Amino acid sequence: MIRNKFFSAEEIAPRTFRITNCFDSHERMTTYSYLLEGDERAMVIDTMFGYGNLKTFCRELTDRPLFLVNTHYHGDHAGGNFDFDECWIHAADIPYLQNMAAAVNDPATFRNMRYEQMKQAALPENRDSILPTDFSMPHPMFIWPVWDGDCFELGNRLVEVIKVGGHTAGEIVLLDRTTRICFTGDACNSNTLLNLPGSLSVEEYLENLYHFKTFQPAFDHCHGGHEDFDASIIDEGIELCRRVLDGTDDHWETTGMRGGVCYYGMARIPQETALGTRYGRSDGKRFNIAYLAETVRKTPKTPRIL
Ligand SMILES: [Zn+2]
């Protein structure tokens, strides 16, 4: 385990590190970034909240040139992007990331927003030691688009981009056939949120899960932004989405993270674990999905006027 005041890293496979903020509350939500080292360069996947300088910490893990790829634009995955000078992200998520990048014009507000997010996610005993001045400072940076099927060559290590839009329109996962790991961001997990502004319909997400499944023989593990699973989580996702579309899911009503009614495919059963309360399913399976009644089926797209 390698650590500094802000981060700790664990080598989960050869030349493959999982990084987390030491201050995270594991009960509420653990958030991960990853570093994959090749012979020529090293890929950083996601940047968490922007608390502490992630790039500086990555320098303790590798001396290869670093580059950053985001699985999607959300603040717990791209909050530390400003530690870098450029990033790669799916084209469909770029407008949302640019909204965040507009913080360049108002760095104080940006830092305060990240500060509040981190305080909420932190262990109670750590909250008072979190300082607004320890957050990434916004500055102009390059954003490059990636598309489904693109590959990053790290030097005798190729990482493939697979688009699994749903949670966000441009959500991607990154497949490393060398270690048989797929880095899945928030694409497919026990709390797959499709009830957010910018999420796709369940119907579109299911199409993307079928696409994702065609790669399943190439990996054993899904290492996500908050959780990890074996590759069969995709099958559970497909099964539950089909039930949502058929109207045979639990249609379990609750209040979403940002208020308003949303539904889960399966009732969420609180379960006590060593890390605190987790939400599981009564049948022991792991995948779950939150959706809105009006976004089950896809609606006709408004054409892009060029
Ligand atoms: Zn997310």
Interval between CA 199 and ligand 1 midpoint (Å): 10
CA of 167 to the centre of ligand 1 (A): 7
How far apart are the CA of 96 and the centre of ligand 1, in A? 12
Give the whole-angstrom CA distance, residue 4 versus residue 199.
Answer: 35
The predicted structure's pLDDT at residue 25:
61
What pLDDT sits at residue 262?
A: 96
Ligand 1: centre distance to CA 215 (Å)? 22
Q: What is the pLDDT along the chain (306 residues), one digit of tens a residue?
A: 888 889 999 999 999 999 998 776 655 568 999 999 999 999 999 999 888 999 999 999 999 999 999 999 998 999 999 999 999 999 999 999 988 777 777 888 878 888 887 787 777 777 788 888 888 888 888 999 999 999 999 999 999 999 999 999 999 999 999 999 999 999 999 999 999 999 999 999 999 999 999 999 999 999 999 999 999 999 999 999 999 999 999 999 999 877 889 999 999 998 887 767 788 999 999 999 999 999 999 988 777 788
How many A from CA of 186 to the centre of ligand 1?
5
Find the 292 Cα to ligand 1 centroid distance in Å.
Answer: 16
User: At the topology level of CATH, where does 1-146 sit?
Assistant: Metallo-beta-lactamase; Chain A (3.60.15)
Residue 39 CA to ligand 1 centre (angstroms): 30
CA of 246 to the centre of ligand 1 (A): 26
pLDDT score recorded for residue 113: 81
Amino acid 110: pLDDT:
79
Ligand 1 centre to CA of 156 (Å) is: 30
Predicted local confidence at residue 65, as pLDDT? 98
DSSP assignment of 201-253, as one string? PHHHHHHHHHHHHTTGGG-SEEEESS-EEETTHHHHHHHHHHHHHHT-S--EE
pLDDT at 292: 96
Residue of 56, 53, 60 lying closest to 79 (CA atoms): 53
Judge contact between 135 and 50, C-beta under 8 A: yes
Q: How far is the CA of 69 from the centre of ligand 1 (A)?
A: 14
Domain ranges of the chain: 1-146
Ligand 1 mean position to 198 CA, how many Å?
A: 11
CA of 185 to the centre of ligand 1 (A): 7
**Cα 77 to ligand 1 centre (Å):** 7
Quote the ligand 1 centre to 265 CA distance (angstroms).
Answer: 18
**Residue 107 confidence (pLDDT):** 80
CA 72 / ligand 1 centre spacing (Å):
7
Give distance in angstroms: CA of 93 to centre of ligand 1.
11
* Span from the CA of 300 to the centroid of ligand 1 (angstroms): 25
Q: How far is the CA of 171 from the centre of ligand 1 (A)?
A: 9
CB-proximal residues (5 Å) to ion ligand 1: 74, 186
- pLDDT value of position 210: 98
Phi, psi (rounded to 5 degrees) for 180: 60, 35
Q: In Å, what is the CA distance from 276 to each residue of 26, 112, 132, 230, 273? A: 8, 28, 28, 22, 5
